Structure 1
Amino acid sequence: MMDAEEAILRVWHGHALPWSRAVREGRIASRRLVTDAAVVAAVLALAPGRVIDLGCGEGWLARALAGQGIDVLGVDAVPALVEAAQVAGGGRYRVMDYAAIAAGGLHEQADVAVCNFSLLGAESVDLLLRAVPSLLSPGGALVIQTLHPCAACGDAPYRDGWREGSWAGCGNGFGEAAPWYFRTLAGWQRSFRDAGLSLRGIAEPVHPETGRPASIVLTLQPQA
């Protein structure tokens, strides 16, 4: 469904400004209460010297990690988001989509690659995951934070497939929402296996108000 893949990028190109405001003003409760700290902790636990933030958005994670003395390269397909990140500083930034990274266009390696709520597609995500081992230094790891399948499934059938998106909880200024590809836990595991990645650890940050998983954080390494 390449039309859905293209819709993801189209929507994000049109929402760089409201998204940057939502993040920087702390409008998204789950991020403010749980998930931002969860992904920072997962990366810091690996004690990296260099990090590649894949789908860096307006750069908040790069800035947080740079504040810990880490050299961070942020990469995103949306020029307006990369520009916002560059203005705020805290890292190096580059405009590049996942297809270009998968084709070997990045020419960078790091101790940790991180994808924080940035794996939204189907084919594009599988392409990126297969490229991750080439982005990692020996002994390096990939950290993924994404929606927890059990919490995000809702009333829909629990199977891999495209879902309608939503900007609920992000505040004002948003219009059309991008579709996203729902993966079951087994679906994620298939994608990891096909990419030559092995699961090293799982965390399930819990929202302090709902008592439900706010996300799932996966740490992976290339298969030996």
Structure 2
Amino acid sequence: MSVLKSWTGGAFLLLALAGGLRAEVTVSQSNDPAEGSEQGLVALLFQDRSGLEAVAPERITAITTTPRAKAGKADAAPTQITAEWLASQPEATGNGEFQCLANAIYHEARGESLPGQVAVAEVILNRVDDPRFPASICGVVHQGNGRGCQFSWACDGRSDAVRNGEVYGEVKKVARAMLDGAPRDLTDGATYFHTRAVRPSWSRRFVETARIGAHLFYANPLQTASN
């Protein structure tokens, strides 16, 4: 029971008793010093009762009822992204950085398994954290050089329109979870990847860290300080 409800119940009890007090004070004409305090208490109680009688019953119910606890939200950053967890999440939304990550996952890995999509997201976020790459997701996704773009779909001249809304909805949830702090533990810090169908020359300069779905993932080799 709330403190307010307890106080209100006590106040109604005092008001009920106040009728008897008022009758005694009315018939008593003594100069007892306690009489003044009793009269003051009675007056105060009847003022309170008058005030309460002016309050709508539903308002009294509202202020004397313990509020219900709000339903808890799902974890913003799960310890592991699973299909079951994704299915329980509402539609994912976000700012421009969120959109860039969702678009990259969609175009690079929409046909991949859930781990494959998470792995691509890891590479993009790992690049954002690496000073050798742009410091924003959109900067990483649209980074280019004289030979083209880091992610070919971003500048291959083809339409980037989303054609599978259902898959894109799931991809957006993956992007949201990764931005909210889901762990990056699938690719061991990878900042590069390519499909199994090719073997680019640059891959020889890096350390392979994982093979997930159709992609191979790579990280920069560890460098030791020279004397």
Q: Higher helix proportion, which one?
A: 2
* TM-score between the two structures when normalised by the length of structure 2: 0.23
Q: Which has the higher contact order (CA 8 A, sep 6+)?
A: 1
Q: Higher strand proportion, which one?
A: 1
In terms of Rg, which structure is larger? 2
